[in-house]
Chain A
Amino acid sequence: MDLQIALLLGQDGIVNGAIYALLALALVLVFAVTRVIFIPQGEFVAYGALSLASLQAGLLPGTLWLLLVLGLVVTALDAPALMRQGRQGGRRLATLVGWQCAYPLALLGVVAGGTPQSWPLLLQVLLVLAIVVPLGPQIYRTAYQPIAEAPVLILLIVSVAVHLALVGLGLLFFGAEGSRTPAFSEASFEIGDLTVSGQSLWVVGASLFLIVALYVFFEKSLYGKALRATAINRNGARLMGISTTFAGKLSFLLAAAIGVLSGILIAPITTVYYDTGFLIGLKGFVGAIVGGLASYPVAAAGALLVGLLESFSSFWASAFKEVIVFTLIIPVLVWRSLTTHHVEEEE
């Protein structure tokens, strides 16, 4: 292997690693706040990429129907309690119906009535975010909120179920064929011997931007602090009026947004299929495990390592590249179990 190939592989690894890092951060966030291991994270990647491809092909993305159906389910679940609460409940009921029923219908009108395939890319991306991201809190409400106090293992089993359901729906919505979307930028740059594509820069730049934005959110904003507080001390947070439900929905919203953006970023680089998300999410998960599902910077660094390992092993032993990446988890777990004290799971 000469330097040029190494540089090329390194570039590839960093681009993929940036995406894995984003997903790893989302996984750590969701786990810290809700104790849910968010396996469906990958489905948001696929839904984001494929919804964008659908829009660009002039089709109605199936995710829009899911948004509407889940909206009706959430309304049915939450409305009875609010109707018993009098005047204040009435206002909250209006908000509920507005977001869960009127909002999906309005989006449906925009997509079916307008011609989003001819919109500029930025608007299309915003539309995809508007459609897919609210699925995050909806899924939290329907699948996790009723069992928010359950042990981690039960939450994990539910995650597997949600993942399988979403992959099945993905096949139904988008079919078995993969899609690729046009690049954000056709530019490419020569740096010495190395050619860097504009899309790679987009991925790395957007990932860095999102990581910084998340950092600022957690350090500076009250809602970010509220999420951290919930992760540190759930009982204390409840006494401040930060409800477990509020924190859960907010963390799922952020995780969904990160997943969808990741999908949109990689869609021009690789062909995304309805089940591609799982493997991508899993690599983010390996990164998150390196950080012990607790440390954001270590998780991000671990994910970057996963990306590099993957691209170099695809050169040396391409048949084994997934094996090599996932085997990384074993030394990491051994090392962690030797260096950290075992903490009993709180009830």
Chain B
Amino acid sequence: MSDHELEPILEVKDLCVSYGKVEALHHVSIKVRPGEIVTVIGPNGAGKTTLLSAIMGVLPFSRGEVAYQGEAQVHVDVERMVARGMTLVPEKRELFGEMSVEDNLLLGAFMRRRLGFRDEAETLDKVFGIFPRLKERRGQMAGTLSGGERQMLAVGRALMAQPKILMLDEPSLGLAPLIVREIFRVIGDLRKTGVAILLVEQNARAALQVSDYGYVLETGEVALEGPSDALEDDPKVVEAYLGLGGKKH
């Protein structure tokens, strides 16, 4: 379990995001500590994707602040966040369809290369170790991959940046149960490498099992938060997100 004495690597305070006149996030505050896995669960349209996009700087926010590594910002610049070790696997994946799997992965290391690191070959080997399927298909165009392979490529490409914090938007979206289990195994394994993870999921049970701390986002507000174990036993969470059977190990 994580050490709650550590300073958070990411602290979102009082964040408000609007699309035109409609406010999609109302005063949301969350924290992620180094090496910790934090999950955000909630129904469709709750604002989970909006939250990750705002943290990354893809979407401007109207109020609040995003503090990353102790530096509070009211305006977030994507490239700067990437340079400082934040990586987002977006809901739409945004792969480079007409480029090979290997090129997609190498581009994941683009910022590290610009910063002067020359270790992409080793990182590539590590990613191929995590997802052997990608190695088999390294020459294939990303646009022709299956759904599960695309998911693996999106996560693999993010890992190429050797992030300090990895944000995953529904990594299990549309996958067969076997591959879902595979993806969550990888997320659990990543914990050992010390990377902090902010995980957005529909699959609440698996997300709460793999994570240390959880937030429940409903209609743009944090409805509930707590250690994942506690959330798994919370009657409201059980009823709304886990269904009958409740906690399972």
Within 8 A of A (CB), among B91-140: 92-99, 103, 106-108, 110-111, 113-114
Write out the residue numbers on chain A whose beta carbons fall within 8 Å of the beta carbon of B83. Answer: 241
Judging by beta carbons under 8 Å apart, are B106 and A225 in contact? yes
Which chain A residue has the least Cβ–Cβ distance from B143?
A232
Write out the residue numbers on chain B whose beta carbons fall within 8 Å of the beta carbon of A233. Answer: 94-97
Write out the residue numbers on chain B whose beta carbons fall within 8 Å of the beta carbon of A236. Answer: 93-96
Interchain CA distance A248-B56 in the complex, whole Å? 22
Interchain CA distance A226-B82 in the complex, whole Å? 15
Judging by beta carbons under 8 Å apart, are B87 and A232 in contact? no
Write out the residue numbers on chain B whose beta carbons fall within 8 Å of the beta carbon of A158. Answer: none
- Distance of B173 from chain A, by nearest CB (Å): 17
Write out the residue numbers on chain B whose beta carbons fall within 8 Å of the beta carbon of A229. Answer: 96, 99, 107
Judging by beta carbons under 8 Å apart, are A225 and B107 in contact? yes
Contact with B along A217-232 (1 / 0, CB 8 A): 0000010011011001
Which of A226, A232, A235 has the largest number of chain B CB atoms within 10 A?
A232
Judging by beta carbons under 8 Å apart, are B99 and A232 in contact? yes
Interchain CA distance A245-B204 in the complex, whole Å? 39
Write out the residue numbers on chain B whose beta carbons fall within 8 Å of the beta carbon of A232. Answer: 96-99
Write out the residue numbers on chain A whose beta carbons fall within 8 Å of the beta carbon of B110. Answer: 222, 226, 240-242
Judging by beta carbons under 8 Å apart, are B95 and A243 in contact? no
B161 is contacted by which of A237, A238, A240, A246 (Cβ under 8 Å)?
A240
Write out the residue numbers on chain B whose beta carbons fall within 8 Å of the beta carbon of A243. Answer: 78-79
Contact with B along A235-272 (1 / 0, CB 8 A): 11111111100100000000000000000000000000
Judging by beta carbons under 8 Å apart, are A226 and B107 in contact? yes
Contact with B along A45-76 (1 / 0, CB 8 A): 00000000000000000000000000000000
Interchain CA distance A239-B91 in the complex, whole Å? 12
Which chain B residue has the least Cβ–Cβ distance from A239?
B88
Interchain CA distance A335-B114 in the complex, whole Å? 43
Write out the residue numbers on chain B whose beta carbons fall within 8 Å of the beta carbon of A241. Answer: 78-79, 82-83, 110-111, 114, 161
- The yes or no answer to B58 lying at the interface (CB within 8 A) is yes
Write out the residue numbers on chain B whose beta carbons fall within 8 Å of the beta carbon of A246. Answer: 79
Interchain CA distance A236-B154 in the complex, whole Å? 10
Write out the residue numbers on chain A whose beta carbons fall within 8 Å of the beta carbon of B96. Answer: 228-229, 232-233, 236-237
Write out the residue numbers on chain B whose beta carbons fall within 8 Å of the beta carbon of A226. Answer: 107, 110
- Distance of B121 from chain A, by nearest CB (Å): 12
Judging by beta carbons under 8 Å apart, are B108 and A225 in contact? no
Interchain CA distance A229-B96 in the complex, whole Å? 6
Interchain CA distance A242-B93 in the complex, whole Å? 16
- The yes or no answer to B148 lying at the interface (CB within 8 A) is no
A240 is contacted by which of B92, B98, B108 (Cβ under 8 Å)?
B108
Which of A228, A229, A238, A239 has the largest number of chain B CB atoms within 10 A?
A239
Contact with A along B194-213 (1 / 0, CB 8 A): 00000000000000000000
Other than A237-B107, A239-B56, A240-B157, give 17 A-B pairs with Cβ distance below 8 A: A222-B107, A225-B103, A225-B107, A228-B96, A233-B97, A235-B58, A235-B90, A236-B95, A238-B79, A239-B82, A240-B107, A240-B110, A241-B111, A241-B161, A242-B107, A243-B79, A246-B79
Q: List 9 A-B contacts (CB under 8 A).
A: A222-B107, A222-B113, A229-B107, A232-B96, A232-B98, A236-B93, A240-B107, A241-B82, A241-B83
Chain B residues packing against A (C-beta within 8 Å): 56, 58, 78-79, 82-83, 87-88, 90, 92-99, 103, 106-108, 110-111, 113-114, 157, 161
